[in-house]
Chains A and B, each alone.
Chain A
Amino acid sequence: MNAPNEIRAMLVESAMRLFADHVDAKMLEAAKRDGWSAALWATMESAELPRVSVPEEAGGAGGTVSDLAAMLRVAGRYAAPVPFAETALLANWLLAGAGLELPRGPLVVLTGAPLSAQRSGTGWVVSGVRARVPWARIAARLVGLAEADGQLLVVMVDSGACQIAPGRNLADEPRDQVTLRQVAPLLAAPAAAGVTARALRQRAALGRALLMAGALERALEISIDYAKQRVQFGHPIAQFQAMQQELARAGGEVAVAVAAAFLAAGAVERRGEALTEVAAAKICAANAAREVALIAHQVHGAVGVTNEYPLHHSTLRLWAWRDEDGNEAEWSMALGREVQQQGADALWPLLTRDARAG
């Protein structure tokens, strides 16, 4: 795993151990039915994983977005059926920035346009409908942005006060419709500077790309192991060049996706909004998903498409996640629009600008 410094290496190692110890075939099968794994979440919480990148003064570990990014990649690798990215990368960022207390328990985040907020006595009520909200039915609290008279608020609501219609993605992860009608938030405070619906959308896409990076690596690893064991024509199929060429092609796509995801994490860490980098991460992850998932299945032959064999935990997620938080076409058009607006002669300066600059 990518571990360029000691702290990162330690974090990654402990996350790897945690997920390796607590995620198995039985648990993933149960999560399809239950929507998630409460036990895994409890273990992650006692290890303070969801607060890795929360500032110390807000009760977190004070790590960077890149530290969290490294752990999200591990979570993606194990197909961890929990709202890790939603809680750690999105909700805790919204809440801590607004000076609100971070509750225990998984948090679900409403992305997209802000909810509409109205004054109600000394407080607020918020309304809105959001389709395909990840994990909504399993969390006690929902966090999102709400807008009233041009003021942007971070709000946290009790999920019991919302209407939640269950749905699922290809990998049986909850993707539910959430309806809020004049719901009084449990907490509300002005959003921190730099916290916008657009920045939230980018973070969501970043989280998705990081999970995909891990899932891509896993799909490739499973395929490599299988190719080394499966014997046909008297040889492990890994010895056939045709197989090697496909695995190498998958390796290239995986490497690009992983690099792009971490580049985007670094950019978001430094600048908040980072359209080029986040778009690159989601585009490269989606491209890789298309190639790698099918190569992985091709390597496996028929056994890979069964419910019993573990490959589908990775590939179904890749096929679901590539379309969540904006697919590659959407991010390509957003980035393409930006590039065309700036014009041909601005491309090279854009591509070579300093990583820390805006």
Chain B
Amino acid sequence: MFFDTVDFSDLELPAAARALRKEVRAFLQEEARAGTYTPQVGHAEFSADFTRKVAVRGWIGMTWPKRYGGQERSYLERFVVTEEMLAAAAPCAAHWFADRQIGPGLLRYGSEKLKQKYLPAIARGKCYFALGMSEPNSGSDLASVKTRAERVPGGWRVNGQKVWTSWAHKAHAFFVLCRTSPDTGNRHEGLSQLVVELNAPGVTVRPILLMNGFHHFNEVFLDNVFVPDDMVVGEVGQGWKQITSELALERSGPERYMITFPLLVELIRRLGKTADARALEHIGKLTARFWALRRMSLGIALTLERSIPGEGGAKHATPDLATEAALLKDVGTFYEREITDAARLLVGVEPDPDAPDAFVRHLADAIVFSPISTIRGGTTQVLRTLIARRLLGPRT
């Protein structure tokens, strides 16, 4: 039904990943002790300093080939770094999208020139990327994007508008999903991915403030922006296939159930050793659910890792775990809310974003952030439609 290729009775991280965990944890503890950042629930903070420190340790683009600045380490080691960063609510925003989507996308589809241009800079923590997917009239229905690229000598002229572009105001460049040929009926064809530098003439970035005033999102206007041919990622017209091929890893990552985890830790601290039966029941249930969700996420990562081509070709056929990933995101994002609710009800403080106390501050941030996880990266309703398709089989 689901997860048929995942062996949950034997999930273990390799020794290298376990050793790495200790290193990452020690680094993060030292950063926390030195007070270089304030842990924050919700959107990670953007810190160029922090990203450079992470890069020095080789933890950005760590799965990439060494010739592009990577470390050729496994996806499982990356999994460990990611979950440690999330547990510590570390300010990862500057390298987040480049490490998770841009790098893998360039490696798989990008020209040699594009790889050389961006990957080493990303891995050094010097180049930040954003993702230009959504548009004002294209949210869940991404294939309906209206941003157009027209052929001009030496490249493309791009016109359109992107929205909800995280950190575009700090990033150097972004991937733009756009239409390179008219919609001829098959709407998944004729889409392409381009790299657009955010300082290019014709690009305008405007902030969209979140309801708490936080500047994370932007809208990006593209007005006759010239994009040279060599900034096309992969094949012209294959953009849809390219962006959907990596969904299993993207949707099943620890960021899909860990956003409010720091609040759970502070809740346990608040409750202390005198927690009553009601509190114990909540804490036990939240711990149990986390245990299962994390292992499901790890199970997807382990299964995909085993199927990644080695030097002698593919080790195994790549199992299709996109539906499992959708399912994990659906369950995981609702789990995040359960933590927030338990924290509210068990402690009974008023959420205060300015509180010096980490618990109260995390609670406030978690509440304001609570609608976001179930919208970004595939809404609950879209995910459930995907899951139902697997359950029901082809429509008859």
Contacts and interface: CB of A to CB of B under 8 A. Distances in A.
Interface string B265-309: 110110111010101111111011111111110010000000000
Interface in A314-336: 328-329, 331-336
Interface in A276-295: 276-277, 279-280, 283-284, 287
A259 B392 contact: no
Given A228-B396, A336-B280, A280 B292 contact: yes
Interface stretch (A29-37, A106-114, A245-253): A245-253
Interface in B309-355: 324, 327, 330-331
B9 to A, nearest CB: 3
Nearest to A278: B288
A136 to B, nearest CB: 30
Interface string A340-358: 1101110110111011100
Given A335-B288, A336-B279, A217 B268 contact: no
A2 B3 CA distance: 7
B388 A248 contact: yes
Given A262-B9, A343-B269, A248 B385 contact: yes
A220 B273 CA distance: 41
Given A4-B5, A224-B391, A255-B3, A332 B384 contact: no
A211 to B, nearest CB: 16
Nearest to B2: A255
A207 interface: no
Given A263-B291, A340-B272, A252 B6 contact: no
Nearest to B289: A284
Interface residues of B, number: 61
B104 to A, nearest CB: 24
B387 interface: yes
Interface stretch (A43-51, A155-163, A197-205, A236-244): A236-244
Contacts of B279: 336, 340
Contact of A66 (B10, B273, B324, B381): B10
Secondary structure call for the B interface: helix
Nearest to A236: B396
Contacts of B277: 333
Interface residues of A, number: 68
Contact of A256 (B6, B269, B281, B293): B293
A230 interface: no
Contacts of A287: 285, 289
A174 B285 CA distance: 30
A256 B289 CA distance: 8
Contacts of A337: 280, 284
Secondary structure call for the A interface: helix
A223 to B, nearest CB: 9
A266 interface: yes
Contacts of B268: 339-340, 343-344, 347
B292 A276 contact: no
B211 interface: no
B6 A245 contact: no
Given A239-B395, A336-B281, A251 B2 contact: yes
Contacts of A28: none
A147 interface: no
Q: Which of B5, B13, B295 has the most CB of A within 10 A?
A: B295
A283 B296 contact: no
B5 to A, nearest CB: 6
A247 B269 CA distance: 38
Nearest to B275: A340
Interface string A284-316: 100100000000000000000000000000000
A256 B331 contact: yes
Contacts of B296: 255-256, 259
B27 interface: no
Contacts of A259: 3, 6, 8, 292, 295-296, 299
Given A245-B388, A276-B287, A332 B294 contact: no
Nearest to B330: A252
15 contacts: A3-B4, A66-B9, A224-B391, A224-B392, A239-B395, A241-B385, A244-B388, A248-B385, A248-B387, A252-B387, A260-B288, A331-B288, A335-B288, A345-B265, A352-B83
Interface of A: 1-5, 64-66, 69, 217, 220-221, 224, 227-228, 236, 238-239, 241, 244-245, 247-249, 251-256, 258-260, 262-263, 265-266, 269, 276-277, 279-280, 283-284, 287, 328-329, 331-337, 339-341, 343-345, 347-348, 350-352, 354-356
Given A248-B385, A256-B289, A263-B9, 7 more contacts: A2-B3, A4-B7, A66-B10, A239-B395, A280-B291, A336-B285, A351-B287
